[in-house]
Amino acid sequence: MSIETLSQLTDAVAAPRLVIKVGSALLVGKDGAPRRAWLTLLVAEIAAARARGQDVIVVSSGAIALGARKLGLARGGRGSLADAQAAAAVGQIALAGLWAELLAAHGLIAAQVLLTLEDLEERRRYLNVTATLGTLLASGAVPVINENDTVATEEIRFGDNDRLAARVGQAAGASAVLLLSDIDGLYDRDPRLEGAVRVPVVRGVTPEIHAMATGGSSSGLGSGGMTSKLQAAEIAGLAGIALAIIDGRPDSPIAAALAEERGTLFCSPGKARARKAWLGGKLRMKGAVTVDAGAAAALARGSSLLAAGVTAVEGTFLRGDAIAVHGPDGTVLARGLSEYDAAECTALMGHPSAEHEALLGYAPRSALIHRDQLVML
């Protein structure tokens, strides 16, 4: 079910899994202290979403801003990378503590996850993030994610939590990413200019859409701005995920903005096509497996690929690498991320799952390629 309106983001069927990104300027006041009253109301909205049956992942900024105040650093801790890293180390504890405390008031368990760019770029680590987030959500916890600013150096950092939120949405198989901003959406020109009009719905982030972004964050506390939000919308779109920008400044910002359709919704072209684009187009294949007719038929029905149906393994690939799946006649049927390395695939091929533990000497995965990590071509 594709998301066409903002109000669908409160619908547990249309949007079973939400990523909610909260920017620094919303979480931290001009005095450098947390905006506790506002956050308490936001957490009540998150608890309401959970009560409706929606999974919620929070991407929370604010570590640098909070830590800078405690350490007395100039420029909100953003004067240098070293300052930002030190500030984040101090601020992240306070930030996570605050989320944990406020979520606990609703009986919800907070789970801190600190990620770097490479955790999501590298396939094996990406799969691990996917698995961890899945387990946390299945256990009813609310993951509270931030970039691991203290260890992420300039070259390997996201730097803004907008794109991080989109990548997390991709890794977690979210339905939508909701960016709470200090503006109520994308405007067709600099919003300070007379006659600027908010764009309610965007279908495809075209060069014309990019031209509308003025860049720079108005608050000076965060590092986002509209440019990084558009990049986030592109990442989300490729993964088949809707992304919305709403104004986070009012108390209880989510319910009213969604009900009144006040924001900008970036619709995605649809899950299947987008996942195919991501796996089929973006990744180089590191190897291939050939399957028998039975496995080919099972894949066509939407099943995961089991080792029992594999007849040959080619290439040297690692767990998490993208591999091709060939049918009995050699045609490429699918592409997916392998749960095992090439040697393990060779050891397991042709063997029913019940034999895998003995063959491997450790607990096996449920499939050679899980259907969530597989696209039929």
Cα separation, 50 vs 164, whole angstroms: 22
Report which of 344, 309, 302 is spatially closest to residue 326, judged by C-alpha positions.
309
Structure-token pair, residue 342: 């090439």
Residue with tokens 């996850």: 113
For residue 248, the minimal CB distance to ligand GLU (Å) is: 13
Q: Which is nearer to ligand GLU, 222 or 248 (CB)?
A: 222
3-class DSSP state of 45? helix
3-class DSSP state of 177? strand
For residue 4, the minimal CB distance to ligand GLU (Å) is: 28
Residue with tokens 């095992």: 340
Q: Which is nearer to ligand GLU, 90 or 137 (CB)?
A: 90
Q: Determine how β-strand 17-22 pairs with β-strand 55-60.
A: parallel
For residue 74, the minimal CB distance to ligand GLU (Å) is: 16
Q: Which is nearer to ligand GLU, 159 or 200 (CB)?
A: 159
- List Cα–Cα distances, 368 to 218, 344, 376, in angstroms: 48, 10, 15
Q: Which is nearer to ligand GLU, 152 or 308 (CB)?
A: 152
Structural contact between residues 265 and 241, judged by C-beta atoms closer than 8 angstroms: no
Q: Which is nearer to ligand GLU, 116 or 373 (CB)?
A: 116
For residue 21, the minimal CB distance to ligand GLU (Å) is: 8
Q: Which is nearer to ligand GLU, 61 or 338 (CB)?
A: 61
Torsion of CA 62, 65, 68, 74, to 10 degrees: 160
For residue 224, the minimal CB distance to ligand GLU (Å) is: 5
For residue 23, the minimal CB distance to ligand GLU (Å) is: 6
The backbone region for 30, taken as left when phi is positive above 0, alpha when psi lies in -120 to 50, beta otherwise, is: alpha
Q: Which is nearer to ligand GLU, 149 or 341 (CB)?
A: 149
Q: Which is nearer to ligand GLU, 28 or 137 (CB)?
A: 28
Structural contact between residues 63 and 221, judged by C-beta atoms closer than 8 angstroms: no
3-class DSSP state of 116? coil
For residue 298, the minimal CB distance to ligand GLU (Å) is: 43
Report which of 188, 184, 166 is spatially closest to residue 176, judged by C-alpha positions.
166
The backbone region for 193, taken as left when phi is positive above 0, alpha when psi lies in -120 to 50, beta otherwise, is: beta
For residue 322, the minimal CB distance to ligand GLU (Å) is: 29
For residue 61, the minimal CB distance to ligand GLU (Å) is: 4
For residue 100, the minimal CB distance to ligand GLU (Å) is: 16
Which stretches of the chain bind ligand GLU, using CB under 6 A?
Answer: 24, 61-65, 88, 146-147, 149, 160-161, 222-224
Q: Which is nearer to ligand GLU, 221 or 369 (CB)?
A: 221
Structure-token pair, residue 331: 């045609």
* Sign of the torsion angle spanned by Cα atoms 160, 127, 235, 133: negative
Structural contact between residues 130 and 197, judged by C-beta atoms closer than 8 angstroms: no
Structural contact between residues 163 and 228, judged by C-beta atoms closer than 8 angstroms: yes
Q: What DSSP character marks residue 350?
A: T
Q: Which is nearer to ligand GLU, 58 or 65 (CB)?
A: 65
